[in-house]
């Protein structure tokens, strides 16, 4: 294993220390317990947003802390969920008197620990709601989940619910935006190779030089099929078809697209994928209202790509376009 680390047991701590130094104008990093908050808190009377999960998916989640998105993010160890205690502290920091929304990716550890933290927060008179993100169409009931996994579409929930909270919507309304966003999006990814968790020291799975894994999870969980390497156009078409059919997209509808790198894919290849995605959407009569291409939700250094489609109306598009200022989205 070759990685730019010092001690494999200090990866998260040293990552947070570097993140704090790089983005001191936007965030504050708290250690022991570990969580990240906005440098400038929201106005009193506005809903707070908290998300989190295992580290290794950067810039998710700490990269999206700031105006227009999250009030706080809670990183766990590399891939495992954070424990309830730091989630509670982040929730308390994010509370400005109007309640807090937890945005939780659908993994068993994340769901259980956020539920526990919510119960603890309510004992301290903080009203907490939760949205469980489950946008991955690849598999049901995987290694770490009951139901569908939460993957790259999580950033859309954070962005749109964050914009609703920023403009002053109450907790019910912000939760409704998060639920609507989750229901209107689908994702699926593929891997060209594995990633290596630092403390494990070896690849998370094996793929032959000519093999790919379709439907891969962001922790390297198995997908729905393993096959031979194909052209970018063919692979994007398979991802798109699965996502389109599950979302039941129709001609005349509008979408926001996300072509997301898994950590080890060059930008040039992501743009080749976006090119094909745009062609397929045009052929189906679906218009691209906005698009994102880049590394937003990664799996360490995994080479691969995921595609997310979010069907939008005027309300969701307005929230997407609302001002935002975070380390990873400005």
Q: How many other β-carbons are positioned within 10 Å of the β-carbon of residue 236?
A: 24
Beta bridge partners of 311: 255
Q: How far is CA 17 from CA 31, 33, 35, 81, 224, in A?
A: 9, 13, 11, 20, 38
Rounded to whole angstroms, how far apart are CA atoms 64 and 325? Answer: 8
Name the catalytic one among 23, 57, 61, 274: 57
Q: Across the chain, how many H-helices and E-strands are there?
A: 8, 12
Which one from 23, 61, 102, 219 is the annotated catalytic residue?
219
Assess contact for 199 and 8: CB atoms under 8 A. Answer: yes
* DSSP SS3 for 280: helix
Q: Is 30 a catalytic residue?
A: no
Task: Give CA–CA dist 136/221, Å, rounded.
Answer: 12
Distance of CA 327 to the CA centre of its chain: 15
For 148-208, the three-class secondary structure string (H helix, E strand, C coil) is CCCCCCHHHHHHHHHHHHHCCCCHHHHHHHHHHHHHCEEEEEEECCCCECCCCCCECCCCC
What element of type H or E holds 292?
A: strand 287-294
3-state secondary structure of 103: strand
Measure CA 323 to chain center: 19
Beta partners for 132?
104
Stretch (H or E) spanning 226:
strand 225-228
Whether residue 9 lies in the annotated active site: no
β-pairing, 48-55 vs 100-105, is parallel
Q: Which tokens sit at 151?
A: 């993957």
Alpha-carbon distance of 46 to 49, in angstroms, equals 10
Query: Beta strand pairing status for 35-38 and 304-312?
Result: unpaired
Residues catalogued as catalytic: 57, 219
């Amino acid at each position: 294993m070759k990685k730019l680390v010092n001690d494999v047991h200090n990866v998260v701590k040293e990552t947070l220390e570097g993140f704090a130094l790089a983005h001191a104008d936007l965030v504050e990093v708290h250690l022991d317990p570990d969580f990240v908050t906005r440098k400038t808190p929201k106005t009193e009377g506005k809903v707070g947003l908290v998300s989190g999960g295992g580290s290794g998916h950067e810039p998710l989640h700490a990269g999206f802390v700031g105006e227009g998105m999250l009030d706080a993010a809670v990183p766990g160890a590399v891939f495992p969920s954070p424990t309830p205690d730091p989630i509670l502290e982040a929730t308390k920091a994010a509370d400005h008197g109007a309640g807090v929304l937890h945005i939780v990716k659908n993994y068993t550890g994340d769901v259980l620990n956020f539920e526990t933290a919510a119960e603890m927060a309510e004992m301290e008179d903080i009203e907490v709601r939760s949205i469980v993100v489950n946008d991955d169409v690849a598999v049901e009931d995987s290694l770490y989940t009951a139901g569908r996994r939460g993957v790259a579409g999580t950033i859309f929930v954070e962005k749109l619910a964050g914009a609703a909270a920023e403009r002053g919507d109450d907790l019910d309304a912000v939760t409704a935006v998060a639920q609507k966003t989750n229901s209107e999006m689908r994702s699926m990814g593929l891997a060209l190779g594995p990633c290596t968790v630092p403390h494990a020291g070896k690849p998370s799975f094996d793929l032959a030089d000519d093999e790919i894994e379709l439907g891969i999870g962001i922790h390297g969980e198995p997908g729905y099929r393993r096959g031979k390497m194909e052209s970018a156009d063919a692979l994007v078409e398979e991802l798109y078809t699965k996502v389109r059919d599950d979302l039941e997209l129709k001609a005349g509808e509008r979408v926001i697209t996300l072509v997301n790198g898994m950590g080890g894919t060059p930008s040039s290849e992501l743009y080749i994928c976006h090119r094909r995605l745009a062609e397929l959407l045009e052929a189906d009569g679906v218009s691209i209202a906005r698009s994102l291409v880049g590394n937003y939700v990664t799996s360490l250094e995994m080479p691969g790509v995921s595609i997310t489609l979010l069907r939008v109306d005027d309300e969701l598009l307005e929230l997407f376009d609302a001002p935002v200022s975070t380390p990873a989205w400005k």
